[in-house]
Amino acid sequence: MAKRELILLAPKLRMPASVDRRARTMLGVIRAFHLGDPAGGVKLLAVSADDGDPIAQRTLGYLVQHGIGTTKDDLRATALYRAAAEAGDALAAFNLGVLAGGSDEAVHWLRQAAEAGVTEAYPRLGDRLSERDVDEEALRWYVHGAEAGDKGSMFAAACWYRDGFGGPVDLVQALRWYLAMLNVGSGDGIHEAHAIVPRMTADEIYEAGTLSGRLLEADLFVQRQASPSAASD
């Protein structure tokens, strides 16, 4: 919604905001983020948060966490995120998982966020699980992150498939994700890709190229393997 439309909408929300929690929350969000009145937004969101609105709790938690329109207070932000997360708000669960650092609680909230489809949670959950040697589940979340287009997840998944962490060695999947990084503008996996293709058949390389959408690069790898100069390298 354009800022001009939000400015026009705000007056229409003022009257129902006095009695309707959702309207109050919406007006609070508009005032905090779009009308340059974060303090006014905080006041409205605080009322809705006290009334049990998870969106208001999560949004107010963000404002409190970052000191926008109110005093910065991580403890209060955590409490607000927790209330929203316990009510099922996936974004609040993600924020809570990030604030919880490397604790077991972080895994709980990041898993809730990831299972609800918050893509930013996938690589973070993978990292937390990896720290605990829960490798099979960690790999699954890295793959989810890779499928969502996160280049860090692509690199992690590729390396884990290459080295057999979280499951058996799978060079097709490893090369797939190294090459897929090119689709998001990253060439960070090319060195690793060059290192594993000598261990692969032409069919395996082409399969990885098909899965990653990078058949041209796969063909170049195969041609290089077949050339006399490559054999003498």
Over residues 143-176, the pLDDT tens digits come to 999 999 999 999 999 999 999 999 999 999 999 9
Span 92-116, average pLDDT: 96
**What is the reported pLDDT for 97?**
96
Span 8-15, average pLDDT: 52
Q: So where are the chain's domains?
A: 1-87, 170-233
Where is average pLDDT lowest: 2-11, 180-189, 204-213?
A: 2-11
Give 197's DSSP letter.
G
**What is the reported pLDDT for 231?**
47
pLDDT range class, residue 20, cuts 50, 70, 90 = confident
Q: How far apart are CA 179 and CA 222, in angstroms?
A: 14
For residue 121, what are the CA distances in angstroms to 25, 113, 118, 147, 152?
A: 25, 6, 6, 13, 12
Where is average pLDDT lowest: 6-15, 119-128, 131-140, 145-154?
A: 6-15
**What is the reported pLDDT for 227?**
78
**What is the reported pLDDT for 18?**
52
For residue 165, what are the CA distances in angstroms to 41, 160, 231?
A: 47, 5, 30
218: Cβ contacts below 8 Å, ≥ 6 apart: 175, 179, 205, 206, 208, 209, 210, 212
**What is the reported pLDDT for 171?**
98
**What is the reported pLDDT for 232?**
47
**What is the reported pLDDT for 21?**
86
Give 11's DSSP letter.
H
Is the pLDDT at 6 greater than 70, yes or no?
Answer: no
Q: How far apart are CA 214 and CA 36, in angstroms?
A: 46
Q: How far apart are CA 222 and CA 206, in angstroms?
A: 8
30: Cβ contacts below 8 Å, ≥ 6 apart: 6, 9, 10, 13, 41
CA angle 55, 56, 62 (to 5 degrees): 95
**What is the reported pLDDT for 14?**
58
Is the pLDDT at 13 greater than 70, yes or no?
Answer: no
Is the pLDDT at 74 greater than 60, yes or no?
Answer: yes
Query: What integer best gives the mean pLDDT of the chain?
Result: 91
Whole-prediction pTM: 0.86
Q: Which two tokens stand for residue 56?
A: 């208001």
Is the pLDDT at 217 greater than 90, yes or no?
Answer: yes
Q: How far apart are CA 85 and CA 195, in angstroms?
A: 44
CB 123 within 8 A of CB 156: yes
135-147 vs 121-131: helix crossing angle, rounded to 10: 160
